[in-house]
Structure 1
Amino acid sequence: MFCAVILLLACATPGKPVTADNVYTAASTYQKLVATYPFIQIANQTAPASIKVIKDISYVSYGDMDLQLDLFMPARTPAKALPGIVLVHGGGWRSGSRENLAAMAIRLAGLGYIAAAISYRLSAEAPYPAAIHDVKAAIRWMRSHASEYHIDSGYIAVAGGSAGGQIAALVGVTNGVPKFDPQAQHSQVSSAVQAIINIDGLSDFTSEQARHYEDDPAKKPSSAGAWFGGTYAEKTELWKEASPLSHVGKNTPPILFIGSAQKRFSLGREEMVQKMTALGIATGVVLLPDTPHSFWLFDPWLEPTVNAMSEFLGREFALSP
């Protein structure tokens, strides 16, 4: 285990794209944070000429609903296939959009990754575990289009922030579990990932501290309750099942945790690290002191976040600098 603290396509198919709830955006979050952190700036979401962006690629369809992704890659054709990374946005499982991760995707592409910022079904569109199915479908899409976009299908990671971090972790630790990947039986393309990055996302919904925030009776329903379709008392097994901590085993991929100074958003992380360490699985924790939740949407915090991601993936994927 390493531990560090740093300051810090296929053409779009016909159909109806999922419309994101844009309550949670970089701009709205900036307004909430700028008084406390007057030095922050919204990270640039405009790609330079060195980065190629292909937007609005439909990666899976459900009836007349299309789920789409935006793909970010170096503009120059690489000499060899590059590792891929699926990015899952946050927003309490019921809001947010893939545009929130455009700045991160651009910087990862600049470091030699093929990054896919994806949309997925939010809780108002489909309850848990629909979002898990969607992210696994996006991973399969990347593998099935690997040659087209110069993706190394043997090196694909999944990462996300906040609710997206929890989703990414659950996706990564449940490879081969039918409930979480019902389409797998109809596909020869694997949804397994070789690394996971959880940025300020829960690892355990069931802990007393997590339930204090996520199962607050004053919220009718809470964000988690809306996703699960019930409170902890009503849907206890789902709250446990959706906790990445519950699925750690000998085949769990390496995981990097990147955390803010707000501990409530990463509850269960230490327990998960302990379980993985006991199994001899590589894991790491990078903490950014004096940071708010959603730090990855802003400079100066995005750069150390992306650098930590690239350092971790470079080591786990045995990539040359």
Structure 2
Amino acid sequence: MPKLVLVILLLCCYSTAIANSYTAENTLKKLISDYPFISIASAKPPTSVAVHKDLTYVTYGDRSLQLDLYQPSSLNEARPLVILVHGGGWQAGYRTHLTPIAIELAKAGYNAATISYRLATEALYPAAIHDAKAAIRWLRAHAVDFHLDEQKFAIAGSSAGGQIASLTGATNGLDKFDPQAQQSSVSSDVQLIINIDGLSDFTSAKARKYEDAPRDKPTSAVLWLGGHYAEQTENWHEASPIFYANEYTPPMLFIASGRTRFYVGREEMIRRLNQYNIHTEVVTFAETPHSFWLFDPWMKPAADVIVEFLDKELE
């Protein structure tokens, strides 16, 4: 089937997904019977945290993408930054999902930016990677304005956002993933990667068991990557962070739920990075559901793990 026709057919499938229903409230309804003790983590910042909302970081025609920046209120010196990429199967979700973690990072003395990006309902792979790198460039270009240490940028993401964050960081310096590279002197490189329950390898047998299985409704990966593995093999390979592991890959922290299907490829990614003595860490929140980061009692311990990693790697 010609690629253009395939993409048109896939976009037709999006008609039922345009209503973005991946919210903390809807997820809570699905989980509360199995986890009656959970509650949605607060997104209300304390007075110790300053917030700059709806900052436009890139514009495509009449389409603008925004980010929210969270900082210590008393900030008077350049501090490291964490860019946070939300999940939602590449076709849903909101940047506010990671606001509670951003607030915890700011309370701990770090800058944190939650970003929106073009979902698959608007633009297929690799648009989200372009957007993440554009956000990094914009923040680095405004480092002085916001007291950001431009030499100490980390990118973190949850679920699909974990895969986006990993691919964004693992492709440091690769112009193919950064359309602005030739026109800008500002780097989109990051110094650390934090992957929360995100895939490292789309092409592995286990990932394809879930993401490429024949079914009436295409999976999120099939939609985002423009087709099934046999149809878009290059995209499935190219979008897998594992294939970019090399001596220049930033140190990585993997935070995992109790659902192993969501971090397929992690162990092989670590094995490859070990060959280059790249530091990696794994922290597992056992017996938790996917999307655990949206809820108390798990959000703050997850944020604390990130802070501990930042403290060791960036201070």
Q: What does 1:148-297 align with in structure 2 at a 5 Å threshold?
A: 148-297=145-294
Aligned 8 A contact 1:84 1:152 in 2: yes
Partner deviation per Cα, 1:158-192 (whole Å, 9 max, x = no partner): 00000000000000000111210111110000000
**Distance (Å, rounded) in 2 between the aligned partners of 1:315 and 1:184:** 30
Deviation at 1:76, TM superposition (A): 1.5
Is contact 1:21-1:97 (8 Å) kept? no
Residue 298 of structure 1 aligns with an amino acid whose one-letter code is F
Measured against aligned partners, the alpha-carbon deviations of 1:231-273 in whole angstroms (never above 9, x if no partner) come to: 0010011101100001101100000000001000000000001
Distance of 1:51 and 1:22 partners within structure 2: 29
- Kindly report which structure 2 residues correspond to 1:137-152, keeping only aligned pairs within 5 A, or say none: 137-152=134-149
* Counterparts of 1:105 and 1:63, CA distance in 2: 29
1:40 corresponds to 2:38:
yes
Q: Please give the TM-score of this superposition, normalised by the length of structure 2.
A: 0.93
Cα pair 1:21 1:96 within 8 Å, conserved? no
Question: When the two structures are superposed, what TM-score results if normalisation uses the length of structure 1?
Answer: 0.91
8 Å contact from structure 1 (residues 82, 112) kept in 2: yes
Alpha-carbon distance, 1:219 to partner: 4.5
Determine if contact 1:155/1:194 at 8 Å carries over to the other structure.
Answer: yes
Q: Supply the distance in 1 between the matched residues of 2:180 and 2:144 (Cα, whole angstroms).
A: 22
**Other structure's SS at 2:181 match:** helix
Whole-angstrom distance in 2 between the partners of 1:220 and 1:296 = 27
Post-superposition offset of 1:314: 1.1
Gaps of 5+ in 2: 1-17
* Matching residue of 1:94: 91
Q: 2:22 aligns with which of 21, 24, 49?
A: 24
> How far apart, in 1, do the equivalents of 2:228 and 2:217 lie?
9
Superposition deviation, residue 75 in structure 1:
1.2
Distance between the aligned counterparts of 2:303 and 2:232, measured in 1? 36
- SS of equivalent to 1:305: helix
Identity over the aligned pairs, expressed in percent?
Answer: 57
CA distance in 2, matches of 1:142, 1:240: 29
Distance 1:206 1:97 in 2: 27
Unaligned runs of 5+ in 1: 1-19
Greater than 2 Å deviation, 4+ residue runs: none
CA distance in 2, matches of 1:98, 1:24: 11
Higher relative contact order (CA 8 A, sep 6+): 1
For 1:246, give the aligned amino acid.
F
Q: Which amino acid aligns with 2:84?
A: L
Partners of 1:26 and 1:181 lie apart in 2 by 31
Aligned length: 298
